[in-house]
């Protein structure tokens, strides 16, 4: 990874270690010396997300992802992980592989997925705070004409101060350019996918609202509204099966908020992150 960044930026970055792995990428921690093109970028730690070669050898994927990454650079909110730069480095090691990467804000904290794995559920007041912050982050994304497409606990980072930051948007849209038989991946995580996304329809901000509603349900119930033996069976339930009532002692207003998020017809949900945050 050091050689990839050096070939693109000179010796601006010092790569430290891998801090995350996912189905589509590996994330490295690196120190940014602060030179930059303008000489005004402050020295800071950054996260460098490197996409897997089986994705980046597809020219259409690269074009889509480049557009999404450049759009992400225009989103500025304390509730969205900042995207600083995007780069492509072809054939740096003689293998013919094109390395595509994003330089992002490094968030010291843990994902909501890690918290739920440990705590299982969270108190209602904490759940509402997390959902409001995440919805505010989505508002910043939606205001730029973008849709996240992969809202899930693993893509919501929580800092030590309790600040929620939405991360990892753009890959899901770009991955739709690559045949699933080649990547073995579902575009959007089936357990949180909206009905319209599960059916392959065009999606708007209300799709993210639905996915965040699934996250809210899981925070309060300790499990997702739908389960199944395969991703297809779960996706089918999102399309046609009403979500069961959240078990336990949850207030009526919060139940209604989650119910509105989880409506099958996107026209009857909250219109976007801003409307959900204000609810």
Binding-site annotation: residue ranges:
49
As given in the structure block, the two tokens for residue 60 are 């259409």
Are the CB atoms for 66 and 88 separated by under 8 Å? yes
pLDDT in the model for residue 274 = 98
Sign, Cα dihedral of 48, 107, 254, 278: negative
Distance from C-alpha of 146 to C-alpha of 205, rounded to nearest angstrom: 8
Residue appearing with tokens 């992802």 = 65
Domain boundaries, given as residue ranges, for the chain: 2-105, 109-278
Residue 270: φ, ψ to 5°: -60, 140
pLDDT in the model for residue 185 = 41
DSSP labels for the chain? -HHHHHHHHSS-EEEEEEEEE-SSEEEEEEEE-S-TTTS-PPPEEEEEEEE-HHHHT-HHHHHHHHHHHHHHTT---TTBPPEEEEEEEESTTSS-PEEEEEEEEPP-EEEHHHHHHHHS---HHHHHHHHHHHHHHHHHHHHTT------SGGGEEEETT--EEE---SHHHHHTTS-HHHH---SS-GGG--HHHHTT----HHHHHHHHHHHHHHHHHSS-S---SSHHHHHHHHHHSPPPPPPSS--HHHHHHHHHHT-SSGGGS-SSHHHHHH-
Are the CB atoms for 167 and 25 separated by under 8 Å? no
pLDDT in the model for residue 37 = 55
Burial grade of 188 (CB within 10 A; 0-12, 13-18, 19 or more): buried
Distance from C-alpha of 80 to C-alpha of 138, rounded to nearest angstrom: 8
For the domain bounded by 2-105, which CATH number is listed?
A: 3.30.200.20
Mean pLDDT by 10 residues, the chain (279 residues): 92 94 88 70 89 83 86 94 93 85 94 97 97 98 92 95 89 57 52 93 95 98 95 94 94 98 98 97
Contacts 24+ apart (CB under 8 A), 11-19: 12/36, 13/46, 13/48, 15/48, 19/47
Query: Top-level CATH class of 109-278?
Result: mainly alpha
Could you confirm whether 58 is annotated as catalytic? Answer: no
Residue 51: φ, ψ to 5°: -80, 150
Catalytic annotation, pick one of 32, 58, 85, 150: 150
CB atoms within 10 A of CB 135: 27
Binding-site annotation: residue ranges for ATP:
49
As given in the structure block, the two tokens for residue 84 are 């600083």
């Amino acid at each position: 990874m050091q050689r990839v960044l050096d070939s693109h930026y000179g010796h601006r970055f010092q790569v430290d270690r891998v801090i995350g792995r996912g189905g589509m990428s590996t994330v490295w921690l690196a120190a940014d010396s602060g030179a930059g093109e303008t000489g005004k970028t402050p020295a800071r730690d950054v996260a460098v997300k490197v996409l897997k070669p089986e994705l980046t050898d597809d020219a259409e994927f690269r074009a889509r992802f480049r557009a999404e990454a450049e759009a992400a650079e225009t989103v500025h909110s304390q509730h969205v992980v900042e995207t600083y730069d995007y780069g492509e480095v072809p054939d740096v090691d003689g293998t013919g592989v094109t390395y595509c990467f994003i330089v992002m804000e490094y968030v010291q904290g843990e994902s909501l997925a890690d918290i739920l794995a440990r705590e299982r559920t969270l108190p209602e007041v904490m759940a509402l705070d997390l959902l409001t912050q995440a919805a505010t982050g989505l508002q910043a994304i939606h205001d730029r004409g973008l849709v996240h497409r992969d809202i899930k606990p693993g893509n919501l980072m929580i800092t030590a101060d309790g600040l929620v930051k939405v991360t990892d948007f753009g890959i899901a849209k770009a991955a739709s350019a690559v045949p699933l038989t080649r990547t073995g991946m579902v575009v959007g995580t089936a357990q949180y996918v909206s009905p319209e996304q599960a059916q392959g329809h065009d999606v708007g901000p209300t799709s993210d609202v639905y996915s965040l509603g699934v996250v809210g349900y899981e925070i309060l119930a300790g499990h997702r509204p739908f389960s199944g033996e395969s991703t297809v069976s779960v996706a089918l339930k999102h399309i046609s099966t009403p979500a069961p009532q959240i078990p336990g002692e949850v207030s009526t207003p919060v139940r209604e908020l989650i119910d509105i998020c989880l409506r099958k017809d996107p026209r009857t949900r909250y219109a976007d992150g801003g409307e959900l945050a204000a609810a």
